[in-house]
Amino acid sequence: MKRSVTILGAGLSGALMAIYLARQGRHVQVLERRPDLRKVDMDAGRSINLALADRGIHALRGAGVFEDAEPLLIPMRGRTLHAPDGSLTFAPYGQRPHEVIHSVSRPGLNRVLLDHAQRHYGIEPRFLQAARTLDFERDELVMLDEVSGNPYTQPLAPLIAADGAGSIVRRAMTGQLGVRVVEDMLEHGYKELTLPAGRDGSHRIERNALHIWPRGGFMLIALPNIDGSFTVTLFLALKGGAESFAALDSRKTIDAFFARHFQDIVPLMPGLAREFLENPVGRMGTVHADAWSAGEAAVLLGDAAHAIVPFHGQGMNACFEDCLELDRLLRSAGDWKSVFDTFFQLRKPDTDAIAAMALENFLEMRDTVRDPKFMLRKELSFELERRHPDRFIPRYSMVMFHHEIPYRVAFERGRVQSEVLSRLTTTADSVVDIPTAQIDALVTELLDPLPVSPAGGH
């Protein structure tokens, strides 16, 4: 008989993993410390709109839940870059019709997953259940029912810890098992704001794009919502001079900062200063752990194992890919310990790779996109993909549109491809300036054929 599984956390990873386990015929218990988000609103300023890409869609399809989520999605075909003078430049993400990413509300998607788990599999998460202590030696999990105020104890094994970047399970593994963890926090924070819909409910800037105001050391982005609004997020240094959150402490300093750097959006956000002062500053960081499991007792999943910064739009997608991989391993039998060990060995190189790429993308989004050579290299990368589809797929495309290409392959090939693009554009001002013979020779010399079909995972 299949053992009952406890999932700690009813967020995106926990809810999707519960569906996968239920599809296997396993009994699943889901415990969540927060209240049911289907009945209460999330804290203001803490949502960060998510970008759902091919990897996440593939995992949702595998769980039979994508059709439920699809009505929440807004396709974004590229980046609209807003210069300080108000001029706009559009940079497409890909060059094929399916090569888009999708803006989606975190709480909206979470509700869909929880509703699907309840409706199809009878999974009833228990909310306001806070993990207090874990004892791996005794196989005990001590919980506090915050509704009744009563503590209770239950066996650990097997526990799937989907309890987020601040995971209590990971901290217990560090304290009791000596697991080494590095939490590398950025010196930048974020603050969420709202660009409201027009009076008729329409989007007041381009709906099907991710908007970026790159300003070197900081940036503003905006993602569309289905109600016509945009979630606007400012990424800025926490402290250090006038261009920092520490300095923006009054309506006067806030209004002056936005007028100085983001003049085109100010008229569209009448409640800007008030909302800025009301909403919290969020922190961002990368979590690296040298082990994700405690024997057969517990395994870390998603952000609990490998939280990353949000600048590649892959945090959720990587977590969903975790669920898909863990489901596959559990279906192939084996004891829980061997499954958990194999899960770590397979996923760790990929999650390390996307963590590194997410940090690199922060620099690209806030600064590199302003370089004229950036657009030239972007155009050239599409040309190389057309000429050599078996050898060259832009790194961004490998990450976002090709679930069949592991993150680590995208990362490794991306470094070589960056060298190719740099060498070909050093003295060129346009793609037509680069001899095709030179292009073909360099690509053939430096890039082996891709280890998988370049047809695309869509």
What pLDDT is attached to residue 452?
66
Cα–Cα distance measured from residue 366 to residue 368, given in angstroms and rounded to the nearest whole number: 7
Matching residue, tokens 């037509």: 432
Strands 140-145 and 150-155: antiparallel
* Ramachandran class of 45: left when φ > 0, alpha when ψ lies in -120 to 50, beta otherwise: left
Strand order across the beta sheet in which 150-155 lies: 129-135, 140-145, 150-155
Higher per-residue pLDDT: 242 or 48: 242
Quick check: 458 pLDDT over 60? no
Mean residue pLDDT of the chain comes to: 93
Q: Report residue 104: phi and psi, to 5°.
A: -145, 145
Helix or strand or coil: residue 165? coil
Token duo for residue 177: 């098992």
pLDDT band with cut points at 50, 70 and 90 for residue 51: very high
| Residue 402 DSSP class | B
Q: What is the mean pLDDT of residues 449-458?
A: 62
pLDDT band with cut points at 50, 70 and 90 for residue 365: low
Token duo for residue 40: 């209460």
Quick check: 2 pLDDT over 50? yes
Quick check: 244 pLDDT over 90? yes
- DSSP assignment of 1-17 equals -PPPEEEE--SHHHHHH
pLDDT band with cut points at 50, 70 and 90 for residue 368: low
What pLDDT is attached to residue 49?
79
What pLDDT is attached to residue 241?
85
Find all residues with CB under 8 Å of 105, minimum gap 6, and list them.
47, 49, 50, 72, 225, 226
pLDDT band with cut points at 50, 70 and 90 for residue 453: low
Cα–Cα distance measured from residue 215 to residue 217, given in angstroms and rounded to the nearest whole number: 6
- Closest by CA to 82, choosing from 258, 308, 296, is 258
Helices 315-331 and 12-23 sit at what angle, rounded to 10 degrees? Answer: 20
**pLDDT tens by residue, 396-430:** 999 999 999 999 999 999 999 999 999 999 888 89
Quick check: 455 pLDDT over 70? no
Quick check: 1 pLDDT over 50? no
Cα–Cα distance measured from residue 198 to residue 44, given in angstroms and rounded to the nearest whole number: 21
Q: What is the mean pLDDT of residues 156-185?
A: 96
What pLDDT is attached to residue 3?
73
| Side-chain half-sphere CA neighbours of 297 within 13 A | 18
Higher per-residue pLDDT: 81 or 333: 81
| Residue 281 DSSP class | P
What pLDDT is attached to residue 456?
47
Rg (alpha carbons) of the chain, rounded to whole number: 23
Quick check: 41 pLDDT over 90? no
Cα–Cα distance measured from residue 372 to residue 386, given in angstroms and rounded to the nearest whole number: 22
